[in-house]
Amino acid sequence: MKIRTMKYIVKEGFANTYKNLLMSLASVSMVIASLLIFGIFLMLIINFTYNLNRLKAQVEIAVFLESDISQLEAGDIELKIKNDERVLAYTKVSKDQAYAQLMNQYLEDSDLLEGLTPDFLSESFRIHLKNADDSAAFTEEISKLPGVEDVSYPYESLKKLSAVLNWINAGSMVVLSLLLIISVSIIANTIKLTVYARRKEIEIMKYVGANDWFIRWPFIIEGVIIGFAGALASFILTCYLYNLVESYVNTHALEYGINDLIKLVPLGNIGGQIFIIYAIIGVVMGSVGSVISVRKHLNV
């Protein structure tokens, strides 16, 4: 395609968008509405997945040492934990610390702990892994070390969380795909109204010898402009609404002390990705809608 032809096509695309301003605005409005619905559902999925992963990351592995273990053996175990690349953080709990925690836990029923001394308790490590999916392998390895009496971690809870996360990811892909198909269909039908209003213009161009792609391209450019404009407006609205919700939820979660359970992803962490998704979907919806809409009127 010649540069002069490309300039003409782009110029016509922008000119047609302006000349049919009301229909263009109607199409942009449909893109905005479709992407807002899509975006709301996408944000819910992102945050639900984010919070489930946070819960998985908070799962703690407790490694209890034998009561008569030597300091050298305990030091070797701590060194192995410290140098393990899978470990995010760990805390060593001495016998005295374990005793203090028990006394604090059973403060109102201290009679239950009568006669108990720190010597009856074991030293332990509280470990958090970078990836909760490594828990099973890590637990099996650490339990085989000399001097380790027991390893405790909530295997069933992790298994259920992983299952829920897998089902959510699978379900979200299906729902988002359906929303995308519905959005493309709605926008294609809206753009059809724009093309229908200019069907005579298309017929005249066909009669004077213009080929199909020469006729299509200005409409495709118009669709791209409409799709991108709708995506940009939708992204701005989404950011504004999400900032309000994020601020409200995170502030109240902190106020009520449940920020470990519920926390929305900061917009700065996902804003760029959301904009790219919106832009791609908007441009694809606009251009595909234009191609579908023009096809019928080319058969003259």
Crossing angle (nearest 10°) for helices 212-255 and 199-207: 150
Instruction: List the Cα angle 206/204/22 in 5-degree steps.
Output: 110
Of residues 239 and 28, more confidently modeled? 239
The two structure tokens encoding residue 263 = 């926390």
- Which of 13-17, 40-44, 177-181, 197-201 is most confident? 40-44
Per-residue pLDDT at 276: 93
Q: Is the pLDDT of residue 38 over 80?
A: yes
User: What digits encode the pLDDT tens for the residues 247-259?
Assistant: 888 888 777 777 7
CA-to-CA separations, 18 to 10, 21, 298, in angstroms, rounded: 13, 5, 23
Per-residue pLDDT at 1: 60
- Which of 66-70, 87-91, 156-160 is most confident? 87-91
User: What digits encode the pLDDT tens for the residues 119-144?
Assistant: 677 888 998 888 877 888 888 888 88
Per-residue pLDDT at 111: 59
Q: What is the mean pLDDT of residues 48-59?
A: 77
Q: What is the mean pLDDT of residues 9-13?
A: 76
The two structure tokens encoding residue 18 = 């302006």
3-state per-residue secondary structure call for 24-63: HHHHHHHHHHHHHHHHHHHHHHHHHHHHHHHHHHHCCEEE
User: What digits encode the pLDDT tens for the residues 166-183?
Assistant: 787 787 778 777 877 776
Q: Is the pLDDT of residue 59 over 60?
A: yes
Domains in the chain and their CATH numbers?
A: 3-56+160-298 (no CATH), 60-153 (3.30.70.3040)
Per-residue pLDDT at 236: 94
Q: What is the mean pLDDT of residues 240-245?
A: 91
Separation of alpha carbons 175 and 155, rounded Å: 30
Q: Is the pLDDT of residue 12 over 70?
A: yes
Of residues 138 and 285, more confidently modeled? 138
Contacts for 239-244 with beta carbons within 8 Å, 24 or more apart? 239/267, 239/271, 242/43, 242/267, 243/267
Confidence of residue 233 (pLDDT cuts 50, 70, 90): very high
Per-residue pLDDT at 237: 93
Per-residue pLDDT at 296: 66
Separation of alpha carbons 184 and 40, rounded Å: 17
Per-residue pLDDT at 239: 92
What stretches of 110-147 adopt beta strand conformation (E)?
124-129
Q: Is the pLDDT of residue 156 over 70?
A: no
Q: Is the pLDDT of residue 18 over 70?
A: yes
Q: Is the pLDDT of residue 107 over 60?
A: no
Q: Is the pLDDT of residue 235 over 90?
A: yes
Of residues 30 and 184, more confidently modeled? 30
User: What digits encode the pLDDT tens for the residues 172-215?
Assistant: 778 777 877 776 776 667 666 766 767 777 777 777 777 777 77
Q: Is the pLDDT of residue 53 over 70?
A: yes
CA nearest neighbour of 222 among 30, 34, 33, 27: 27
Per-residue pLDDT at 131: 81
